[in-house]
């Protein structure tokens, strides 16, 4: 369940309870709200949730488009798939930032990021060349 889905569900639940909650909610709300009398407590909550829903849906769409830009994971069932994916992604970043792949630096980053030992320059080079 995404945040946008939760906000949508909550909004619809409040809209369905509007008639049940409106009399009590309006009485309590009137102590704090001196503005538009048409805006009752449930109406205010629904308006807020509509805005929140729109915002969360926009964030979710942006995140989905970001995820689609990542390269596909070769052999996702391999126990080293996360390390390989990270190394391949970081090699692309190193090429962009440094102008060369810097397999040695990426090997250290893999060890630090995954709290492991034994990933060497040649291992990263292999992962990036063959997808192993």
Q: What is the pLDDT of residues 55-101, one digit of tens each?
A: 778 878 887 777 776 666 666 677 888 888 888 888 988 888 889 88
**What was the pLDDT predicted at 105?**
92
**What was the pLDDT predicted at 54?**
80
More confident position, 123 or 19: 123
Please tell me the distance from the alpha carbon of residue 113 to that of residue 110, in angstroms, as a whole number: 5
Residue 110, pLDDT > 50, answer yes
Torsion, CA 8, CA 53, CA 51, CA 10, rounded to 10: 30
Please tell me the distance from the alpha carbon of residue 11 to that of residue 8, in angstroms, as a whole number: 5
**What was the pLDDT predicted at 49?**
72
Average pLDDT, the chain: 76
Please tell me the distance from the alpha carbon of residue 82 to that of residue 35, in angstroms, as a whole number: 54
* Total-model pTM: 0.45
More confident position, 117 or 12: 117
109 Cβ neighbours under 8 A, 6+ residues apart: 86, 90
Average pLDDT over every residue of 48-55 = 76
Half-sphere CA count of 79, side-chain side, radius 13 A: 0
Average pLDDT over every residue of 2-9 = 73
**What was the pLDDT predicted at 108?**
92
Task: Give the three-state DSSP class for 3.
Answer: helix
């Amino acid at each position: 369940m995404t945040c946008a889905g939760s906000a949508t569900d909550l909004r619809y639940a409040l809209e369905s309870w509007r008639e049940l909650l409106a009399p009590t909610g309006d009485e309590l709300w009137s102590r704090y709200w001196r503005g538009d009398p048409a805006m009752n407590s449930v109406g205010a909550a629904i308006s807020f949730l509509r805005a929140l829903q729109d915002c969360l849906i926009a964030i979710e769409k942006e995140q989905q488009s970001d995820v689609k830009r990542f390269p596909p994971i070769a052999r996702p069932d391999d126990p080293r798939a996360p390390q390989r994916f990270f190394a391949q992604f970081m090699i692309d970043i190193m090429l962009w930032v440094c102008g060369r792949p810097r397999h040695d630096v990426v090997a250290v980053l893999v060890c630090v990021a995954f709290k492991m030992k034994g990933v060497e320059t040649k291992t990263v080079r292999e992962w990036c060349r063959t997808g192993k």
